[in-house]
Structure formats: C-alpha cells, structure tokens
Structure 1
C-alpha cells in the first residue's frame, strides 16, 4: 500500500511539473505573439548628444514605426556604461527593456574587477548596429607629419610627445594602450573627462596626439582645426579616404573597430529576439539611416544575434590580453 501511494505521489508530482512547464510555455508563446503591446525602453549608457545617443535615437524611431509601439531612449551615463548595463540585466526578460551595447562594454569587462553583472551571461545580443573608427589626431600646427614621425619623436623625447584620450579605461584609452604596446613607446597617456577638454588640450599643445572616436572629431577635421594622422580599423574610412590606417602607417597588427548594437536580458524569448533583429536590420538598410550614420562616421551594419555574441566574446578576450600584457591595474 505504501509503495503504491508513493508511486502515485511521484506520478502526480511529475504530472504537475509537466503542467507547469506547459503553462509557462503557453504564457511565453502568448507574450511573444502579442509583442509588443506597450512601449519599449532602450537604455543608453552615455549622455544625450553623443554618438551612442544619436544612433540609438535614429534606430529607436524606425523601430517605433515598424513595431507600432514607442521605443523610448533612456540615458543613464556612467563609467563604462555600467549603470545602464545593470539596469537592463535586472529587468524582466520580456523584450521591453533593451541595452544599447557597444565596444565599451567589452572594455569594461576587461578593466573592472567587480561588475554588477556578467556581460556574457546576463545578456542576449540581438544585433549590431554600426561600426566605426578611432582616429589618431594632431593639431593643425603640430610638427608631427605622420604616425612614423610621431613614433620617432616620442622615442627620442617621451616626456614631450605624450598621448591624450578620454576617460581612463575607455575604448579610446585602450586603443592608445594598444598603440603603445605594438610600438614599444614609453609615452605617457593622459586621460581627460570629456571630448571638448581633450580637443582643447590638443590645440593648447598639452598633448602631442589624441585618440578619439571619429564622430566628434569630424567637424574639427573638416574645419581644418585638427588633422587626422590615421584611423584604427583594418580599412580606410570612406569619409576620409586620404587618411591611412595605423597598420598601413607601419603599426603592424593594429586593428581596432569600435561598434555598437542592441541586447536584451538573458532568457528573453527567442521569437522576440528574432522580431527585434529583423526590424533593426530593416532599419539599418534604409537610405536615410545609412546616410545619417555616415554623417557621424558610422558604417550602418547589422547582423545576427550570434554574430554580435561572437564580436563581444572576441573583444573581451582581446582587451583582457592587453590588460594582462601591459600590466594595467584593473579598477
């Protein structure tokens, strides 16, 4: 009798588990089919007006049109985009809170010892949005004529020929660290809080060269106030075709491509990820979006969730290796 009752209890328990799983699956299916039925929040880890904010708002508007629900950009600026990341990591995995992810997130994963989330585990990548360069800059009146000229001068006088970037541990800062690593220079890297303060330091000769993403530098380059020595990626930037890459300029192995994209909390239902991926890629194919992205120095390019996950993983490994090689202090 006892054995029979035990078997019955076990059977009932299994039946209840199955019913529960079927119920949960039904709810997820219903949510996915009904998605979206309310506004979506796209959290950006940078202040309004910057390249991250500009591109996020362009895509958000197109997504609003395609999805029939407003996609609202929510700016939460902080070092390394950590506050934005934490906000999304802790959100419900229902597709209504998304993260504007970028190469800075990969750098933060390498530079910070303690993070409130695991960038690989706690997010589901959806799609890349764009790729862009970091550019090596000098003032228009600088005596530096080329990348190799700077390397020669910096080797002879490292105290005079220093390098400026924004924010210690930023993608721009790490791009400069990689430059030092590959050239063997002993030049000092000086971090500034903002791009305007970095550009002022360059024009005031407080720094010899600067590493900055191309978007905020373009107006000054086009206006002739500063000169672009080289771009960071493996191919020349179409907006400045006369400017060589750092690899072309003799820095063998140098290749840094900045990027941004969109991610959701882990465990967001696959149908929702696929819907968002489809609409993001459709938005990026629109001529007006591509043109606006190009105006700020970005190549509008999407892809699959798996491709963005691979980019993120590769970038984290790359910056981790650089931090170890250069014996940088993790924050």
Structure 2
C-alpha cells in the first residue's frame, strides 16, 4: 500500500511542480452527501485533518445529507472550479444515476475526478441465533424452501439494497428483499431473527460481531479483509463473482485546473499511506485505495453501468 502510494506521488511530480502556485486564500470546503457520525464521515474527517496539515489551509468537512447525495453533488457541480470546493463522491452517486430518471448534473461530465479514497467492503451476515454457519448452508436451505427466506438491507436503491438484489439474482433464490429505514433497525431485526440474512457494509456489523450478536458468513470482496482473516470471501463461500464494495473518493467541479487535481490527489495518497491513518481506517472496516484521476473516472463509469444493470434486472422503478 505504501509503495503504491509513493509511486503515485512520484508519477504526479510534474503536476505538483506546476501546482505550487495554488495556495487557496480561504478554507477548502469538502462537501459530504450524508449526516455526521457514520463511518464515511469519520473517514473523511480523519483524512481532512491530514490534508489540512499538508496543504497549510483548512479543509472543512461540510455535511449536506439528502436522498442519493444529490444536494451535495449539485452544490459541487455548480461551484467555481478553483479548488476551494470538493466532493466526497461515493457509491451513492453511482446508484443515484441508476435509480433516478433525472439528476441536476451529469456525473461524468460535470466533475473532475481526483482520486478514489477507500473501499467499504460489504458483508453477508446473520444473527447469532441463526442455524446457518456458512453461506452455502443458507443458499441450500433457501432453495429447498422457495419463498421462505428473506434478506434485509437499508435504503431502497442504495448500495446495500442493490447488493441484496444482486445476491438474490446471482444465487438464483426466490426470497424477499426487506428494506429498513436505518442500519440499527436492520441489525436489531437480524439479532431477533426477523431478518434471515443481512446485506450491509462491514463497519456497523463489526461491533455486533465483537459482541457475539451476529456472525459474518462471507465478505463480498475480491480478498479477505485484513483484520478478519477467518471470514471467507463470497467467492470462497460458493457464490462465484459476487463482489459488492462501497467506495468513496474526491471529485471537484469540471474545469478545475489539472495542477490542482494532481496536488489534491498526491496529498490524499500521502495521507492514506500514513500508518496512523491506515490503521484507523482498518479499525473502521475501511480499506485505503487511492489511484490516478483517469483510473477513478473509468471506475465510476463502470460502477454506473453495473448498478444500472442491477436496477433493470431487479425491476426497481426509477424515481
């Protein structure tokens, strides 16, 4: 991780030299499309502190929660392209493009892509009282009794909910997807047995795991999570190709100078390579994953197309 980050900084060296003249005379507003307190907010604030130290200018996190993160994204899309306003772009921005018929911005045209920041792995989990010890056992039981099982998630049209729809489709199961208003409601339903399987990001499940209230059957990632080496991937658990990862990164308004984009990307890579940042993110269930602007743009385009297919296959009405 450290080596990749340092190589990324080295590759950006010419851009950094040109960016030395970029010295904002006011704070940089980092706009988030959700409320304070969640793992995404905590991650951004941790990184913002390091960016502030490196840039010598306050990077102020500003929360603008709304459905689909639309309010935050629109605010940044319409901001001056001078490096003073940036967006924490997330999976929600990609799912919003798939779920909503019309948005007040175009995700691929109205932003400059700076860098992906991190992955938030999703898990498939059950309450501690569940009879299922493996994902294979759950799938086999659900196939034996069609229509008897359910899978719970939060936020219809969000990544967790679409991940549940994708699981149902890929596993070939006749089961109900139940959407809850908030994660605590979902986890309580799992521990009480009202929900048979949970599709959620790792972070809020970790305390339940530590307290013995839930079990993780599989992590929906290409590789096992470093701090949970005993938990298999969905592929290892028998569901080939099932990868569902939320993510976030930095974007700026379209036409933001490339030198500014490069400087921000390099400083983000530097921050994520710091041991204290990486270790804290892993504690939160988050894996650092910086990259180049062009790669981030391609990644977001692929995510948009992927979630659009999931929405269409699940016959989820567009809003």
TM-score, scaled relative to structure 1: 0.88
The reply to whether residue 227 of structure 1 matches residue 235 of structure 2 is no
Greater relative contact order structure (CA < 8 Å, 6+ sep): 2
Match of 1:330 in 2: 318
The alignment's C-alpha RMSD in Å is 1.5
Match of 1:93 in 2: 81
Decide which of 128, 139, 143 is 1:151's aligned counterpart: 139
Deviation at 1:274, TM superposition (A): 0.9
Match of 1:84 in 2: 72
Match of 1:237 in 2: 225
Give the Cα separation in 2 of the matches to 1:113 and 1:157: 36
Give the Cα separation in 1 of the matches to 2:22 and 2:98: 38
SS at match of 2:113: strand
- Mapping of residues 284-303 of structure 1, within 5 Å: 284-303=272-291
Decide which of 48, 58, 81 is 1:60's aligned counterpart: 48
Contact 1:124-1:265 within 8 A present in 2 as well = yes
Give the Cα separation in 2 of the matches to 1:230 and 1:171: 17
Contact 1:127-1:304 within 8 A present in 2 as well = yes
Give the Cα separation in 2 of the matches to 1:154 and 1:114: 37
SS at match of 1:261: strand
Deviation at 1:158, TM superposition (A): 4.1
Give the Cα separation in 1 of the matches to 2:241 and 2:22: 48
Give the Cα separation in 2 of the matches to 1:281 and 1:31: 16
Deviations, residues 56-106 of structure 1 (Å, cap 9, x unaligned) = 101110111111111110011122211111111111111111100111211
Give the Cα separation in 1 of the matches to 2:133 and 2:279: 32
Match of 1:218 in 2: 206
Contact 1:160-1:208 within 8 A present in 2 as well = no
Decide which of 233, 244, 250 is 1:256's aligned counterpart: 244
The reply to whether residue 38 of structure 1 matches residue 32 of structure 2 is no
Contact 1:182-1:254 within 8 A present in 2 as well = yes
Tell me, which stretches of 5 or more residues in structure 1 are unaligned?
Answer: 1-29
The reply to whether residue 118 of structure 1 matches residue 106 of structure 2 is yes
Deviations, residues 243-284 of structure 1 (Å, cap 9, x unaligned) = 111111111221222211110011111111111111111111
Deviation at 1:224, TM superposition (A): 1.2
The count of residues paired between Structure 1 and Structure 2 equals 302
